[in-house]
Structures are given as C-alpha cells and as structure tokens.
Amino acid sequence: MPKKNLFGYPIQELQDELVARGESKFRAKQLFEWIYGKKVYDFDAMTNVSKAFREVLKDEYCLELPKLYTRQDAKDGTIKLLLEMEDGSKVETVLMRYNYGNVCCVSSQVGCNMGCAFCASGLLKRDRNLTAAEMVGEVLILNQILAEEGENVSHIVVMGTGEPFDNYENVMRFVHIMNDPFALAIGARHITVSTCGLVPGIMKYAEETIQINLAISLHAPNDKIRNQIMPVSRAYPMDKLIEAIKYYEEKGGRRVTFEYILIAGLNDSMKEADELAKLIHDNHIYAYVNLIPVNPVKEKGFLRPSEKAIHAFHDRLMKAGVNTTVRKEFGTDIDGACGQLRAKVEGKL
C-alpha cells in the first residue's frame, strides 16, 4: 500500500479516518498543529503524539512535498518555481506581489487538455491531475521561500497550468485545506478558481457552501471568435455558459470576474467591447472584467495590442458601465506566460 500523504487531507476527513480506526478526534487537530502551525514534518518530532501512534503514522502516512527544480526571480519580485513531483512530473507555481498581498498562482494539472490557442500550457497535453496534496505542496514550498523574508502567501488563484474543473474533487479538497483555520487559514474571499468555461463544473461549484471567487476565462464576446481560440466553446457555447453563470449567481455566488485576453486584430476592437458590454447588461450579470494584454507566445503568433488600443477598450467598457481593470503584469523579464517555463524545460519552446 502506498503511504497516504497527510498534506492532502481536509481536517474533517482526517478526523473521520482517525475516528474510524479508534483514535480520538482530537488527534487530527494535534497533527494539523504540528504540520501547519509548527511546520514540523517529521512524525518522530511530534512529541505529544503517543509513540505507538507515531509508528502507525510512519507505517501508513507520509508528509511528502514537491522538490524545487528551478526558480526564476523577476525584478519586480515575482517568483516562478518549477516543482518536481514524486513521479518526476513538473509543474509551475508563481508568486505575484500585489499591494494587497502575496498571491500564489497554483497549477491544478500536469499539462492541460483544453487546447486554448494562445496558451503555452497546452503545448504539453495533460498527463494527469494533480492531487490535493501536490497542490498544497505548491503553496507550502512558496511559503518556505517567503518565510525567509518574514512573509507568507495571503491569496490563492487556481490559474496556473490545468483546468481546475477538469480536476474538480481534488481542487475543492485543496481549497478547503487552504481555507481551514487549522491549516493555511486563507479567507474564502482571498481564494479564486478560474475556469475556461466547463459548464458542469460551474453548476457544481454553484452548489458549494464555501464562498470562494469564480473567474471565467471568456476572451471573446461571442461564439464565433471564442470558437477560434477556445475549443471548449464548441462543447459549451456562450448561451450555456451564461446560463451556468446565472445559476451560480442565483445560488448566492459572489460577483464573477471575466478574464478577457486582448489579442491584436482578433478581439480588441470597439465592436467587441460594445458586444461584451451588451452581453453583460442584457443578461444582468454582476460581473467585473479583467483585461489581460496577451502574453505573446512566439510559436502561436498572437500579438499584444498597442497601449492605445488597450486603453480604448478599457475606456469603452467603463463608459458602458462595466467595471473593468487592466491586469497588472508581472515577471515580464522571466518566462511569465502560463506554461512557458515548463514548456521550455521540457524542450517544447
């Protein structure tokens, strides 16, 4: 039997498992205090746990973290890590420093199958899902690095490589561990999951009781353009996507963020800005738009619009009454674009 990695357990699940084997429920809290409070990962050092139970832990459980494979530091403080998992898979994790906190961009899969035309992650097909323990590991490794400067991760965005709703259960376990007051204690409002628009995932997410943020990678105001750059749009066209978002809102979900990559000549004209505003207004969606000038991936031939075009698009949406920001860019001097570092290391860029 492979050992079970304790980093993948929400506290409730650990409590249930321990109780089922005749241990006291309190053990789970004790273990969480060692792991997340004291950051002690050696069972033998957990002195308030009986010796007999420490032996059980050593036999059946482990506390396995990913290994740091490569680290890139940008001038603006952005840190990009390439982490190696136990089976040799490599995933990217990024730290972005906003004025409101330290944001960790977490990968949810090894590679991705969504095939978005502008994205470097898709250059490498999905190998497998990441486990909750591996995603927790991404954050803990970053926390170890930040501890050297007396900092820690304060916000989580599941916006790294992979489609989180294609790995729904593990991502939700991960989110619960981040949010748990006995684990990372990151407020639900500081956690965002981003999807390319997998409708069944959005419907499920609408039913969750935890109030985390939802971001939708929209990138186009209509199916015609969306179909050209996002294959997922053929399976879940705009009307179905909007329906799912409305359902999420009705169920008490928080304001959604629409991410919109601006690509020169493709989706950046006033016509698309107007269409996007109309889409939001006509459907009475309480949305916020985040414009992202495309991070050019040479191999894909998508170009960034001029500053003038970016601002014109932003102004047009604002004037139409849509709350819009242009995303701050990080790490432009390192392999900033999604999946670039890994693709380079694996010889695809």
Q: Which residues are catalytic?
A: 92, 338
How many Cα atoms sit within 13 Å of 213 on the Cβ side? Answer: 22
Q: Which is nearer to ligand SAH, 139 or 297 (CB)?
A: 297
- Choose one: 23-31, 70-78, 115-123, 241-249; the region binding ligand SAH (CB under 6 A): 115-123
Residue 286 phi/psi, 5-degree rounding, is -90, 80
Query: Measured from the CB of residue 305, what is the shortest distance to ligand SAH in angstroms?
Result: 12
Among 94, 337, 341, 343, contact with ligand SAH (rule: CB under 6 A): 337
The verdict on 338 binding ligand SAH (CB under 6 A) reads yes
Sign of CA dihedral 94, 125, 66, 60: positive
How does DSSP assign 266-321, residue by residue? Answer: TT-SHHHHHHHHHHHHHTT--EEEEEEE----GGGT--PPPHHHHHHHHHHHHHTT
Length of the chain: 349
The verdict on 109 binding ligand SAH (CB under 6 A) reads no
The verdict on 196 binding ligand SAH (CB under 6 A) reads yes
- Distance in angstroms (rounded) separating the CA atoms of residues 18 and 60: 12
Q: Which is nearer to ligand SAH, 64 or 166 (CB)?
A: 166
Query: Measured from the CB of residue 49, what is the shortest distance to ligand SAH in angstroms?
Result: 39
Q: Which is nearer to ligand SAH, 215 or 280 (CB)?
A: 215
Query: Measured from the CB of residue 153, what is the shortest distance to ligand SAH in angstroms?
Result: 18
Q: What is the DSSP letter of 1?
A: -
How many Cα atoms sit within 13 Å of 179 on the Cβ side? Answer: 19
Type of residue found at 349: L
In the region spanning residues 163 to 182, those forming contacts with ligand SAH, defined by CB under 6 A, are 163
- Distance in angstroms (rounded) separating the CA atoms of residues 262 and 327: 11
Q: Which is nearer to ligand SAH, 101 or 115 (CB)?
A: 115
In the region spanning residues 121 to 160, those forming contacts with ligand SAH, defined by CB under 6 A, are 159
Among 15, 143, 195, 257, contact with ligand SAH (rule: CB under 6 A): 195
Binding mask 279-318 for ligand SAH (x = CB under 6 A): -------------x-xx-x---------------------
Contacts of 261 (CB under 8 A, 6+ apart): 118, 217, 219, 267, 292, 293, 294
The verdict on 118 binding ligand SAH (CB under 6 A) reads yes
Q: Residue 46 corresponds to which tokens in the numbers above?
A: 């957990």
Residues at the contact surface with ligand SAH, assessed by CB under 6 A: 114, 116, 118-119, 159, 163, 194-196, 217, 259, 261, 292, 294-295, 297, 337-338
